[in-house]
Amino acid sequence: MARTATAPGAPTSKLGKVALELDDRLIVAGPLRRTLNKVFPDHWSFLLGEIALYSFIVLLLSGTYLTFFFDASMREVVYDGSYAPLRGVKMSAAYDSTLGLSFDVRGGLFMRQLHHWAALLFVASIVVHLLRIFFTGAFRRPRETNWIIGVVMLVLALLMGVTGYSLPDDLLSGTGLRIISAILLSVPVIGTWAHFAVFNGDYVGEQIIGRFYIVHVLLLPAILLALIAVHLLILVKQKHTQFPGPGRTEHNVVGNRLFPTFAGKATGLLLVVFGVCAALGGLVQINPVWLWGPYNPAQVSAASQPDWYIGFLDGSTRIFPAWDLNLPGDYTIPALFWPTVVVAGAMFTVLALYPMIERKLTGDTASHHLLQRPRDVPVRTSLGAMGLTFYLWLMAAGGNDVIADKFDISLNAMTWVGRIGVVILPPIVYVITYRICLGLQKHDREVLEHGIETGVIRRLPHGEFIEVHQPLGPVDEHGHGTLAYGGAPVPKRMNQVGGARRAVRGFFRPIEEPAQVELEERHDQHGLAAAEADRELTSAGRPSEGGRPQEPRH
């Protein structure tokens, strides 16, 4: 075990020596190598979850900054800050400190707006990430646990949003708080008890901002952080899913190693996400609380809307009919209970249980690591489109007063449009999506069988016109392609099978020799000659992606 200075491979550089000392103490070289060698598949849609993670980091950083200045108290103070129109107005310390943060802290308004924009981006990227997972079937066994954790995190993100935008205690957020109070009261049996526990009595009291604050800055972020850690650990343990392609199987992952390619791209994306939030935070005004004024239970402004991610609940509340349920014994289930607690509860429960529902319906209990194209699973895709329509329609209904105002439509008519649409639109979208999926499937098969339409029309000796088709691979005696569909995109245009050469690079003047490009194409076996030699062309990917990854050719 003795080590001499001349032992082979002994580090000579300073950094090498430091690394050696570290490894002597911690023995990390092995795990480090395993981490650096970890392979991540490469696809743009796999970055959506990363955007959510990065905007959460932005939220933690900017949120911590905001706490240095924010006073989560409902104590009444008289404003005496820089913003002249509100001077001398009585308001809560929370609103006062939000104004101070916006007007009397150098760069404070920038940070506040950055935080708000990052929050909108956070929820948006979670939703889009969820849609990607759903429509590609990435939630299937063995990833149901991570799906459920994801749905829970989405709900927590919504709660983060609600508790966060209620904090400034301006007129808009106070109206939101009032509705939250009414929703709590609407719960049968325990509603009033729950309300009194949360608000410490009847609406509104002096406690709620302070309670929301600690929930917003400590409880929810801590739970979210823990869940993110579990989410990522499971992801690393189970390895990422991948789209079908050459050499990609249920038992491997094809892509880039963590270091340096994946790390480089991921760090780049983190900075871009941070940068976009910063640019929005400075350039695009959001929630100008000084215009709404301090909260007063007797005031409200027209077009009071929550942040976009709560919009669907506002919409469902607006279009739900006035149906109180009067029970024997003079008990009541208020109409408000159904479109808020029940709709939201049902939506998120069905969403969380979807992997199990699908498993039950299809009887597919196998493990899947290869993703599906949405068209190949028409029922799931149509169900998803239907759910999405329901959600987006409710969200649009949440702005029905604005639509009525801007387009000069009767407000009551808009409410009825919302009511009727929410019932009939989702099934219509289901049918349409189903047909589109089948059509796309059929077209894939058609191209595999008959080849790509070249656009070349030929007249045969007997006068018939035909379009020349380029087969994707070898053909049988009838001229039909022999390739089978492999779950990967089928090239539909000649350029995708190398019908055109790669463009010579350079903007003002060429920076490479055309002959060099020709040589490279031949070397990489791009282009038609390569395509013809390829038996499994459908799974060869598009040559425009460099055809990577490729099975070794000999």
Partner 1 sequence: MSTRDTRPGSAGGADVPGPLHGGPDDEYTPEQLATLSREDLDRLGARYDGVEILHVDPGPEPGSPVEKRAVRQVGWSFTIAGLASLAFVVIYVGSGWFLPDWHWEIDDHGWSALFTPLLGALMGLALIMVGVGLVLYTKNLLPHETAVQDKHDASYFDRVTAAATLVGGLEKSGLKRRKLITRSLAFMGGGLGLMLIMPLGGLIKNPNKGNPLGTTPWGEGVRLVRDDGTPIRPGDQQPGSLETVFPAVPGGNSVHHADAATMLIRLRPEQLEADRPRPGQEDFGYGDYVAYSKICTHAGCPVSLYEQETSRILCPCHQSQFDVTQGAKPVFGPATRALPQLPITVDDEGFFVARSDYIEAVGPTYWNRERI
Residue 324: other Cβ atoms inside 10 A: 12
- The CB-based long-range contact list for 347-355 (8 Å cut-off, 24+ gap) reads 347/391, 348/151, 348/154, 348/155, 351/130, 351/151, 351/387, 352/147, 352/148, 352/151, 352/152, 354/134, 354/139, 354/147, 355/139, 355/140, 355/141, 355/143, 355/144, 355/147, 355/148
Please pick, from the candidates 53, 74, 162, 386, the single residue that binds partner 1 as defined by CB under 8 A: 74
**Token couple for 432:** 């349409």
**Token couple for 315:** 């919409």
Task: Annotate each residue in 327-346 with x if it binds partner 1 (CB under 8 A) or - if it does not, as one string.
Answer: --xxxxxxxx--x-------
Q: Is 75 in the site for partner 1 (CB under 8 A)?
A: no
φ/ψ of residue 170, rounded to 5: -90, 180
Pick 340 or 381: Cβ nearer partner 1? 340
Please pick, from the candidates 512, 514, 533, 535, the single residue that binds partner 1 as defined by CB under 8 A: 512
b/e per residue, 176-190, with b = 16+ CB within 10 A? bbbbbbbbbbbbeee
**Does residue 171 contact residue 293 with C-beta atoms inside 8 Å?**
yes
CA distance 218 to 55: 17
CA distance 413 to 398: 14
Residue 380: other Cβ atoms inside 10 A: 21
Pick 280 or 448: Cβ nearer partner 1? 280
Q: Is 2 in the site for partner 1 (CB under 8 A)?
A: yes
Tell me which residues in 107-166 interact with partner 1 (CB under 8 A). Answer: 107, 109-110, 113-114
Select from 62-70, 315-323, 439-447, 531-539 the region that touches partner 1 (CB under 8 A): 315-323
Select from 154-162, 173-181, 348-356, 420-428 the region that touches partner 1 (CB under 8 A): 173-181
Select from 145-153, 372-380, 431-439, 541-549 the region that touches partner 1 (CB under 8 A): 541-549
φ/ψ of residue 504, rounded to 5: -70, 135
Pick 67 or 301: Cβ nearer partner 1? 301
Rounded least distance, CB 131 to partner 1, Å: 24
Q: Is 1 in the site for partner 1 (CB under 8 A)?
A: yes
Tell me which residues in 221-240 interact with partner 1 (CB under 8 A). Answer: 239
Pick 38 or 43: Cβ nearer partner 1? 38
Q: Is 317 in the site for partner 1 (CB under 8 A)?
A: yes
- In the Cβ-directed half-sphere of 290, how many Cα atoms lie within 13 Å? 20
Q: Is 97 in the site for partner 1 (CB under 8 A)?
A: no
Start-to-end C-alpha separation, the chain:
45
Tell me which residues in 379-408 interact with partner 1 (CB under 8 A). Answer: 400-401
Rounded least distance, CB 383 to partner 1, Å: 28
Q: Is 100 in the site for partner 1 (CB under 8 A)?
A: no
Please pick, from the candidates 189, 424, 457, 515, the single residue that binds partner 1 as defined by CB under 8 A: 189
Nearest C-alpha neighbor of 254 from the set 553, 45, 39 = 39
Please pick, from the candidates 115, 132, 143, 195, the single residue that binds partner 1 as defined by CB under 8 A: 195
Pick 109 or 540: Cβ nearer partner 1? 109
Q: Is 548 in the site for partner 1 (CB under 8 A)?
A: yes
CA distance 425 to 418: 10
Rounded least distance, CB 223 to partner 1, Å: 17
Number of residues counted as binding partner 1 (CB under 8 A)? 125
**Does residue 130 contact residue 153 with C-beta atoms inside 8 Å?**
no
CA distance 353 to 347: 10
The residue written with tokens 């070249």 in the block is 454
Q: Is 186 in the site for partner 1 (CB under 8 A)?
A: yes
Q: Is 82 in the site for partner 1 (CB under 8 A)?
A: yes
Pick 141 or 450: Cβ nearer partner 1? 141
Please pick, from the candidates 61, 73, 104, 518, the single residue that binds partner 1 as defined by CB under 8 A: 104
φ/ψ of residue 363, rounded to 5: 70, 15
Pick 334 or 487: Cβ nearer partner 1? 334
Rounded least distance, CB 281 to partner 1, Å: 5
Q: What is the DSSP string of 136-160?
A: HTTTSTT-HHHHHHHHHHHHHHHHH
Q: Is 304 in the site for partner 1 (CB under 8 A)?
A: yes
Pick 282 or 489: Cβ nearer partner 1? 282
Angle (nearest 5°) at CA 134 between 238 and 57: 65
CA 377, 380, 384, 389 torsion-angle sign: positive
Tell me which residues in 239-258 interact with partner 1 (CB under 8 A). Answer: 239, 247, 250-257
Tell me which residues in 257-276 interact with partner 1 (CB under 8 A). Answer: 257, 260-261, 264-265, 267-276
Nearest C-alpha neighbor of 544 from the set 491, 504, 505 = 491
Q: Is 64 in the site for partner 1 (CB under 8 A)?
A: no
Q: Is 68 in the site for partner 1 (CB under 8 A)?
A: no
Tell me which residues in 450-469 interact with partner 1 (CB under 8 A). Answer: none
Q: Is 78 in the site for partner 1 (CB under 8 A)?
A: no
Nearest C-alpha neighbor of 102 from the set 274, 286, 278, 303 = 286
Q: Is 92 in the site for partner 1 (CB under 8 A)?
A: yes
